[in-house]
Structure formats: structure tokens, C-alpha cells
Structure 1
Amino acid sequence: MTHILLISHDIPSMSVGATIPIYHMIKNLSTQYDITLVCFNSKKYDIKPLEKHLSNIILLDNPVYDSFKDQFTYTFKNMLSYDNIKMRSFFNYYYHPKMSEIIKDTLRCNEYDIIITDMPMAFYVKNIKKPKIVYAFDAVGDYNHHMAKKATSIQSKLYWYLNYMKIHQYEKCYNKFDECIVVNNKDKKLLERFIKTPVSVVANGVDIEYFKNKNNRRIRQLVFVGDMSTPPNNDAVRYFVDEIYPLILREVNIPLKIIGRNPTDYIKSLDDDPNITVTGSVDDIRKHLNPGSIFITPMISGTGIKNKILEAMSMSLSVVSTRTGISGINAVNGHDFLLADTPEEFKDAILRLIYDDNLNRRIAENARVYVKNNYSWINASNKIIHLIKKNIK
């Protein structure tokens, strides 16, 4: 049996975007491969659902801090350590000397046919002489470059530009891998500008049966979902609330529900508006995606495929999205979702769905069929299996 060493920046979870593909890759590949998982443990996610799919699990707990000062001191010390600089992963948040030892010992004591790592952990194994695949997900450097150009203050512009230079330099380590995986063609083309390693597109998937709408009650509401600690989601909410929602409320009274962990003070303040509900983190997103709801993605920045859109479509919700939000998802405007790139277009699309229930139902039904036919995790895993076989000599 082929032995895989899989390295992740956290315990893979089926509920958090950055690790969802890794979670499903483990589930689907474990029937054919022997997989050892090495990862940090932030204690946010449970390893138990994956235990039966893994032959070996090696976790390194993230330290618990008494204060932000302690956390900053510890992280800064690691980032500036001699070993971190020597590895040319300078200023890498995920560098930890103990993790470096664990990976070296694991490779020394076991024979693996191939290494698969996610983007944040790639630098640990870039110089290992074994077949290697990096799951980059998207072109993160380009996103930071976009944010630097968009920033209005000197401090913000400097922050994003320095981040861009750091990550762009980091992404060059993909040249030491045999294969790089991204989730859409846009990110593939961006990375191919400066890396020579073959870049393959493996689109994210959806668990069709898990994300199947079993709510009987139809609720007319607007729903936004996203991790509120990320600038793209904050920008999207601010854009919608400031420029689009007032236009809608002039025509019809419809509530807005904002769902997602780590709401900023600005997002929390929106809960004071009687038309807006801010839930924060929820245990089960499916309970909030009722039939008749309209799922909005007014994204004005960001990269990669938005899993939240695929999940909403799988739940048979009509989606209204900007071009940025739907990027990488080749659904048909007017059939599987409604495209809206200006405040007026967004308002008009939502009003069409509100006033025409037949259209709302038709778009919602088409959305589920589209996801079912194009975004299964089994299909994604089969593409990864092909890449594994291709790179094992």
C-alpha cells in the first residue's frame, strides 16, 4: 500500500474553509492509501471524526497564553529565531522548532512514498528529496497585492505591501515541489507567472447529502455567511449594508442575517439595527439556511472558490453574487444564480427573487442540481489520486 505523509497547519475540519478540502481528502483517500497526519492542534477542532481514516496521528498543541503580550512575545521570538531564518521561512507565523523536529523524526523513522502539505506548512519539507505535492488552495500573494493597491491609508498600504512581498517570496518555494494544487483556473494562471512546478486545478467540493435542506419552514430573509476576522468578508458586509441594503429597504422590508465567527466591533454594532441579526459562530449552519432565503455574496475582494456559496447552492438557496464572489464557480447567470456587480444590480436581483417566487424556486432548484453535478468531494479526491500516481516514480 502507498504511504502518505500529510502535513496540515491545523486539525482538518469539515466546518472551516481552510481545512475542509484536507478533511475530505483524508476521508476519500484512506480507502486506498495509508495516511499519517502531522499537524498543529489549535484545540478548536476535534480529531475523532478522522481517527478511523488515519494510520498515525501526530499533533503538536499550540501553546496557551495568559495574555496577548505573552502570545506576541512567543510568536515573535519563533519568527525571528535562527532556525526560522536559516530555513528561509523568515517571519513565518507557522514556524515552530518542535514541529520541525517532529517532521524530521517522522521522515527519518518511517518510509513514505509521497508527502502532501498545505500551503502554510510547505516550507518544512521543501528540501526533502521525495515526491511532494503542495495544496496551495489559491494565490494568496496576489490577494495581498490587490489589498495594497486598494488601501487608502499609508499604514494600511505598507502593511499589505510588506505582506505581499513576504508571501510572494514564500510562494516561490512551490518550485521545489512536484505538483501544486489550486482551486480554480484564475489562481492557476496567477501562480504560473512565476513558478515552474505544474499547477493543477482541483475544485472544492460539497457533501451533497450533508448539505441537503430538510427545513420545512420557508423564511424570506437575506443571509450572509463568512469568517468575520477576514478583510474580504468585512468589506463585503460593509459594502452591502452601506450601499445596497438601504436601496432594498426603500422597496420592501426584508431582514438580514449575518452569520460567522469572530465578528468585529463594526459587525456587532449592526445587531442594534432591528432589521439585522448578527449571530456570531453557529453550531450548525444548515439550521439557518431555510428554503425561501436569499444567499448574498457581495464580495469586492478575495481569492479562491467560496465554499459557502457551494454549500448554500447545495441547500437549494438562490444566490446573488458579485463576479468576485462567484469567481471559480462556472455556474450560469440567470439559471443557477444571479450576478450583480453594482448596488443597483444587486438590489434589482434581490427584488426579482422576492417578488417572483417561481423564479426564486427555479434558481434554487437549479443551484442544487449544478453543485450535485460539478462539485462532489469524490471527484476532487479522484483528481488528487491521479496526481499521486503521476508523481510516485
Structure 2
Amino acid sequence: MTKPPLLMLVHRIPYPPNKGDKIRSFNLMKQLSLDYEIHLGCFVDDEFDLQYITKLNQWCKSTRVISQNKWLAKLIGLTGFISNKPITLPYYFSLGMQAWVKKMLHQHKIKDVLVYSSSMAQYVEQDQFTDLNRIIDFVDIDSDKWQQYASKNTGIKRWFYQREARLLQQYEQHICQSFTKSLFVSNDEAEAFRQLMPKSLVDKIQSLLNGVDTDFFKPDSELTATETKLPKQFIVFTGAMDYWANIDAVIWFSQQVWPSLKAKYSELEFVIVGGKPSAEVRNLTLVDGIKVTGRVVDVRPYIQHSLFAVAPMLIARGIQNKVLEAMAMNKAVICTSMAMEGINAPKETGAIVVDGKQEFIAACLNQLKQPQPQLSRQWILDHFTWPNTLKQLLNLFATRPSA
């Protein structure tokens, strides 16, 4: 069988699938590789991931992977002030990537393009590419995240974030208008984007739900962490710990909720699991009972052996993979309504949704005192497995596999 070619552009290498954006991009790549010869262009912004570049050959016909120095990229991003662009566009622009894209499109006569994140749309947004079937996976509304950042700051930072939100929303509308389809990670996110766009564009906007690998994330009492001895009694937060929304969440929990829990349960510990913890997160280890692991080989033992997981997100968009993964392992998850957005699990599953300091404290204390039986895994099996969520993916593309 001859597979048709497909160009896939991703802002961060989609392997290993160990953080939110990479989990989704990896599963899209993996699914599409069954029916298409994928030509993948992406960046690597973490030296740890350089070892995995050759792994991409399992799913891709060809790759163009460009190493990105974050500090240099930030400086280049500031040129957006000169060109009146959102800084995320020059941040992710590369002449080498642009040349490779043009070469692949011409050499392989590619008709279908999947762009993952708005920052990569710049490589195929020009008029010369209007004959292509261009699909953009925005994942979530980036402009709104910048607006949320603005609302939590003052002065020059507030102005900076508001500028990025405004320009990025304008760019999102331009891409939505130019491309064939705009995808989002949940029905809630797609509907929120429709409200921001002109009515003429609403039919171009649809959801493509995230999933979770339920064969990997499943209850297993034999799971044991290899790096460190697990505490006897602990609650857990998982996520990339250089990401502002996660940093904000654990700091809020540590300051507002944790002291009340520790006062009642002196042996209890709070374990923050995730790579590249910021200085603010590392400093939380100075608080009695809080541990920060940094990058771990396998996050599952920490979920499995925890009393429950928390996701106290105060800044969020889309679907929280940390919530899906804990639910898939049949763990209680105490989270804010922002963290549950897009998942919308009913109370009967055991998912506990609360907002506010006192409500969060009460929910955690109730769970510690009288743990509730969990039915959350069945909700995930029914609604959030990758084979189910990606069923409509092939319908988006113009070309089809042929014998």
C-alpha cells in the first residue's frame, strides 16, 4: 500500500510524550503514521530530548529537527516589538525550517499539512500555500492564557502580556480564516474560540479531544519508583515544573492549603513531581513536608501510591493531562473547575471539583479522613482513550491511502 505524504509542523519535538503538549502531538503523529508518510519539522528546546531524535524514524519518513537555545530565542522574540507581531512568532522562526518546508512540499508534492500550535503556522500561511489543505491544531486558546497572565500582574508585565494576548488573538483569527480547519482539545475550548471569532468562521472550528494511554496509566500496586523511596503517606501534583500555570498552582496550594493539612496530619507529605522545577518551586522544599522530585523516570508510582492527586489550577486552558492520568489510575483527584474543564466528569466518578481556599482545604481533609471509592477509570475508558478521541482525524485530510 502506498501512503500519501503529509507535512507535520510541531513547535516541540513530539517525543517522549512526557508533558502536556508532547503527549497530544505524539499521539497525533503516531495515529497519522498508520496511513501517511509523515515529514516532520520541529524544534528541540531541552537537551535531554536530543537523545530521542532518531526515535522519530519509527513514525516519520523524514524529519527536520532544529535545536533551540531558549535565551537566544527569547531575544529574537523581542523583535516582535519592531514588526508588531506576537513574540511567539519570531521566537519560533527559523530560515532553515522555512527552507526545509518549501523543499518538502515541492519534492514530495504534499497536499496535506498539519500544524501543531499557532507559532508554527507562519511556515505555511503565505498566499503561495493556499492550494494546500492546511489543518491547524491550536490545542487551546493561547491568547487567552496570555490574558490570564496579564490579569495576575501589574505594571510593565501586565502591559506586555496584554499586548501578546491582543496580537496573538488577531493572528489566531487570521490563521482560522486562512486554513481549512481549526482544532481544539475540548468542546469547551472550541466553543470559547467560536465566541471570539466572526460568525463566518464558526464552521471551521471543531474539537478533537485529548486521550490517555489507559494501558500505560492503569492501577498497579507493583509500581515502584526507582529514583527515591516513596513517602508512607503523601498527596501528589504532577506536571512540567517550568510551566507557569503549574508553578502558580503548587505555590498557591503550598501557601494556602498545605499548612492546614500538615497541621492535622503531621506525617503527611506533599510531593511535586515533574521536570525542570523553577527556583520558586525548588524553594518549596524549605516548607515542612514538601518534596520536589525534579524529572523522574516514571510518574506512575507517584500517582499509584499517593493518597490522592491535586490539580489546583488557577491558570488553565484546554484539558489537563495530569487529571486524565490520575483518573485513569482510578485515583481521587481534587481539582479546581479550571482543571476539570473539558473533562467534565460527573460527581459519581469520584472526581472532586472545588474552588477557593477553604473549599479546597475542606475537600482534602474530607478525603484524608474518609477516602471515597473511585469510579473515575471507567469514565476515562468510556470517553478519553486515544483510539476513540482520534476517530475523526482521517476525515480532515484531502488525500487518502491507496493500494
TM-score for both structures, normalised by structure 1: 0.88
Output the amino acid matched with 1:16: K
Say if 1:131 and 1:391, in contact at 8 Å, map to a contact too: no
Residues of 2 paired with 1:2 and 1:87: CA distance?
35
Select 2:219's aligned residue among 210, 213, 219. Answer: 213
* Distance in 1 (alpha carbons) for counterparts of 2:318 and 2:140: 5
Is 1:54 the counterpart of 2:37? The answer is no
Distance, in Å, in 1 between the alignment partners of 2:81 and 2:162 is 20
Note the 1:1-393 alignment, pairs <5 A: 1-13=3-15, 14-42=17-45, 43-45=47-49, 46-62=52-68, 75=76, 85=83, 92-119=90-117, 120-127=119-126, 128=129, 129-151=131-153, 153-172=154-173, 173-192=175-194, 193-194=196-197, 196=201, 198-216=204-222, 219-253=232-266, 254-357=268-371, 359=372, 362-363=373-374, 366-388=375-397
Counterpart Cα distance in 2 of 1:91 and 1:58? 18
1:123 maps to amino acid: Q
Structure 1 residue 354 displacement after superposition: 1.6
**Mapped partners of 1:284, 1:298: distance in 2:** 22
| TM-fit CA distance, 1:325 | 1.1
Q: Structure 1 pair 249/373, CA: closer, same or farther in 2 (3 Å)?
A: same
> For the residues of structure 1 that align with 2:219 and 2:332, how far apart are their CA atoms?
13
Closer, same or farther: CA 226–389 of 1 in aligned 2, 3 Å: same
Q: 2: CA distance between counterparts of 1:39 and 1:263?
A: 24
Letter matched to residue 94 of structure 2: H
8 Å Cα contact 2:236/2:270 also seen in 1 = yes
Deviation string for 1:302-324 (max 9, x for gaps)?
11101111111112211001101
What's the CA shift for 1:247? 2.0
Q: Is the 8 A contact 1:143 1:302 kept in 2?
A: yes
Cα gap change, 1:49/1:368 in structure 2, threshold over 3 Å: closer, same or farther?
farther
* Separation in structure 2 between the aligned mates of residue 378 and residue 387 of structure 1, nearest angstrom: 16
* Counterparts of 1:350 and 1:138, CA distance in 2: 29
RMSD: 2.7
Q: Partners in 2 of 1:292 and 1:19 — Cα distance?
A: 25
Q: Secondary structure at the match of 1:135?
A: strand
User: Mean alpha-carbon deviation: is it higher for 155-164 or for 297-306?
Assistant: 155-164
Q: CA deviation at 1:333?
A: 2.2
Instruction: Report the Cα offset of residue 239 of structure 1.
Output: 1.5
* Identical positions, percent: 24
User: Retained in 1: the 8 A contact 2:349–2:379?
Assistant: no
Q: Which consecutive unaligned segments of at least 5 residues does structure 2 have?
A: 225-230
Task: Note closer, same or farther for the CA distance 1:313–1:131 as it changes in structure 2 (3 Å cut).
Answer: same
**In 2, Cα distance between the equivalents of 1:90 and 1:329?**
28
User: Relative to structure 1, is the Cα distance of residues 355 and 87 closer, same or farther in structure 2, using a 3 angstrom cutoff?
Assistant: closer
Give the CA deviation at 1:15: 0.9
- Aligned mates of 1:330, 1:210 — CA distance in 2: 22
Counterpart of 2:42 in structure 1: which amino acid? Answer: C
8 Å contact from structure 1 (residues 219, 293) kept in 2: no
3-state DSSP class of the match of 1:243? helix
Aligned to 2:227: none
Name the CA distance, whole Å, in 1 between partners of 2:399 and 2:143: 28
CA deviation profile, 1:96-140 (whole Å, cap 9, x unmatched): 111111111111212113110112201111231211100100011
Partner deviation per Cα, 1:231-282 (whole Å, 9 max, x = no partner): 2212211211111112222322321001122322221111122311011221
Alpha carbons of structure 1 residues 343 and 95: separation in structure 2 relative to 1, 3 Å: same
SS at match of 1:57: strand
Alpha carbons 2:19, 2:239 under 8 Å: kept: no
Residues 258, 278 of structure 1: 8 Å contact kept: yes
- Paired with 1:336 and 1:110, the residues of 2 have a C-alpha distance of 50
Segment drifting more, 206-215 vs 53-62: 53-62
